[in-house]
A and B are shown apart, each in its own frame.
Chain A
Amino acid sequence: MSIVEFRNVTKAFGNVTVLKEVDLNIEAGEVVVLIGPSGSGKSTLLRCINALEEIDGGDLVVDGISVREGRSKVRLIRQEAGMVFQQFNLFPQMTALANIAFGPRRVRGVGKAEAIGQARELLAKVGLADRGHHYPSELSGGQQQRVAIARALAVKPKLMLFDEPTSALDPELRHEVLRVMQSLAEEGMTMIVVTHEIAFARQVGSRLIFMEGGKISVDGDPAELLDNPENPRLREFLQHVH
Chain B
Amino acid sequence: MEFDWSVVVEAMPALLSGARLTVLIALAGLVGGLVVGVVAGFMRAYGNAILNAVAFTYVEVIRGTPIVVQVMFIYFALPLLADLRVNPMTAAVTAIVVNAGAYIAEIVRGSLLSVNKGLKEAGLALGLPVWKVLAYIVGPIAFRRMIPPLGNQFIVSLKDTSLFIVIGVGELTRQGQEIMAANFRAVEIWSAVAVLYLIMTSTLTLILRVTEKRMRIL
**Chain A: residues with CB nearer than 8 A to chain B?**
50, 52, 71, 75-76, 78-79, 81-83, 85, 87, 89-93, 102-103, 106-107, 135, 148, 151-152, 155
Contacts and interface: CB of A to CB of B under 8 A. Distances in A.
Contacts of A90: 122
B141 A103 contact: no
B118 A75 contact: no
A106 B128 contact: yes
A74 B39 CA distance: 27
B118 A93 contact: no
Contact of B127 (A75, A87, A148): A75
A52 B128 contact: no
Contacts of B66: none
Contact of A107 (B116, B128, B137, B144): B128
20 contacts: A75-B127, A75-B129, A78-B124, A78-B126, A82-B125, A83-B122, A83-B125, A87-B118, A89-B118, A91-B122, A93-B141, A93-B144, A102-B126, A102-B136, A106-B126, A135-B216, A148-B122, A152-B125, A152-B126, A155-B126
Nearest to B130: A71
Given A75-B127, A91-B137, A92-B141, A85 B216 contact: no
Contact of B216 (A81, A93, A148): A93
Given A75-B128, A85-B118, 4 more contacts: A82-B126, A90-B122, A152-B126, A155-B127
B126 to A, nearest CB: 4
B43 to A, nearest CB: 20
Closest 10 CB pairs of A and B: A79-B127, A89-B122, A78-B127, A89-B118, A83-B125, A103-B126, A75-B127, A107-B127, A92-B218, A87-B118
Nearest to A92: B218
Contacts of A82: 125-126
Contacts of B128: 75, 106-107
Contacts of B127: 75-76, 78-79, 103, 107, 155
Contacts, number: 62
B206 interface: no
B141 A52 contact: no
A211 to B, nearest CB: 21
Interface string B99-141: 0000000000000000010110111111111001000110011
Contact of A50 (B125, B132, B218): B125
Contacts of B116: 87, 89
Interface residues of B, number: 20
**Residue in A85, A135, A148 with the greatest tally of chain B CB atoms within 10 Å:** A85
Contacts of B132: 106
B132 to A, nearest CB: 6
B125 A78 contact: yes
B127 to A, nearest CB: 4
Nearest to B122: A89
Given A92-B141, A93-B140, A106-B132, A52 B126 contact: no
A148 B121 CA distance: 13
Contacts of B144: 93
B121 A89 contact: yes
Contacts of B140: 93
B126 A89 contact: no
A52 B121 contact: yes
**Residue in B119, B126, B140 with the greatest tally of chain A CB atoms within 10 Å:** B126
A50 B121 CA distance: 11
A194 to B, nearest CB: 14
Contacts of B137: 91
A102 B132 CA distance: 11
A78 B121 CA distance: 11
A107 B122 CA distance: 13
**Residue in A82, A87, A89, A107 with the greatest tally of chain B CB atoms within 10 Å:** A89
Contacts of A76: 127
A107 B125 contact: no
B125 A52 contact: yes
B122 A93 contact: no
B128 to A, nearest CB: 6
A131 to B, nearest CB: 18
A85 B122 contact: yes
